[in-house]
Amino acid sequence: MSKESEGIFDDSVVYVTKQGSQVGVDGGRIVVAMRGEGEIASFPMGQVDTINIFGNINFTTPFVARANEHGIVLNYFTQNGRYRGSFVPEKNTIAEVRRRQYALTEKESLKIAKEIIRGKIRNSRTLLIRKDVPDNGRLAELEEQTAKARDLDMLRGMEGEAAEIYFGLLNGCLAEGWTFEKRTRRPPEDHINALLSLTYSMMKNEVLSALRQYNLDPFLGILHADRHGRPALALDLQEEFRPIFCDAFALRLINKIMLKHEDFGADNHLKDYAFKIYLEKFDDYMQEEFTHPRFEYTVTRRKAVRLQAILLRKAITGELKEYYPLVFKR
């Protein structure tokens, strides 16, 4: 299937964006079809673990039953990429792992959270170094001080200060014609903030899928507070990926002129044609390979996220004495 078509497929993740299409099953294949057009894409059932649906897409009942049998997670987004919810198969729950996760003490949670935030701050420094943007040394101090945090509130304070410094320097990473003054969210107040928010949403989906694949409850957090409908653990694990994967990707789209200001609508969301370009570029980006800084073998970014979910599970269950974040030092 070509990258120009409406679905995007790698070894395990499918994106469906064709409005009004229907996802069904035919024998051992997942089939995306459009009334009046027939089949527009198909994928082998056994190779898919996640299907991401954007906007007005329908499922057949037989497909949902088969997705449950095969352990396929269905993630729902608005047409603009805002996460709305998921269908999680029965086989994605294992009681022993969940019991250990629910029994984590505050001390154990703090130990893991310190490593996540240390990794985030280190990766923030690395991105700035790659872009030749100097800081005043405070980020390095905060990275070191995470080990001394006495509780989660103190750690959150360190993370907040580091984020303020980092975002204050991000403008220096942008190509001419783009400016970044401050991080804004609901709603994002400019094109760069909209792009960051969208990319964080997409990465959250990657992390959600990885946590579910390894039987962790994404709604029971370590650092982020639990809140109804909020995937707190996914937000926790996502922290170390934000600067070095998410922000780096957004900067690439802008600095290499893959997206321009005119690709955004009045609401700061990407226009439909540009959103499809974005999804294609994001999927390509997640499939790019690099040498893992800890394990020293070649992985894709998507595989790296899933490796971190495994390490997090092992830290939670006690198979590892500590959690090892994904850290890039150069």
Domains belonging to the chain, first-starting first, are 7-92 (3.100.10.20), 95-317 (1.20.120.920)
pLDDT of 92: 54
* Residue 271, number of CB atoms within 10 A of its CB: 13
Instruction: Return the amino acid letter for 118.
Output: R
pLDDT at position 91 is 62
From 134-143, 236-245, 263-272, the region with the lowest mean pLDDT:
263-272
- For residue 8, pLDDT over 50 is answered with no
Residue 75's DSSP bridge partners are 52, 86
Q: 171-230, pLDDT tens digit by residue?
A: 888 888 888 777 877 777 789 899 999 999 999 989 988 888 777 888 898 988 766 667
pTM assigned to the model: 0.78
At 6, the pLDDT band (50, 70, 90 cuts) reads very low
Does position 274 have pLDDT exceeding 60, yes or no?
yes
Whether 79 has a pLDDT exceeding 80, the answer reads no
| Pair 241, 124: CB distance under 8 Å | no
pLDDT tens, residue by residue, 89-117? 766 556 778 889 899 999 999 999 999 99
Instruction: Say which residues have a Cβ less than 8 Å from residue 31's Cβ, sequence separation at least 6.
Output: 23, 24, 25, 39, 41, 42
- Nearest one of 5, 20, 8 to 57, comparing CA atoms: 20
Residue 212's CB is within 10 A of a number of other CB atoms, namely 24
Burial track 79-117 (b if 16+ CB lie within 10 A, e otherwise):
ebbebeebebbeebeeeebeebbeebeeeebbbbbbbbb
Residue written as token pair 């872009």: 131
Structure tokens of 29? Answer: 């294949």
Query: What secondary structure, in 3-state letters, does 165-178 show?
Result: HHHHHHHHHCCCCC
Position 125 scores a pLDDT of 95
Asked whether the beta carbons of 83 and 47 are under 8 A apart, the reply is no
First to last CA, the chain: 36
pLDDT tens digits, 310-321: 899 889 988 889
Rounded Cα distance, 220 and 234, in Å: 9
Cα torsion angle, 152, 154, 156, 158, sign: negative
Summarize pLDDT for 124-161 with one digit per residue, the tens.
999 999 999 988 899 999 999 999 999 999 999 999 99
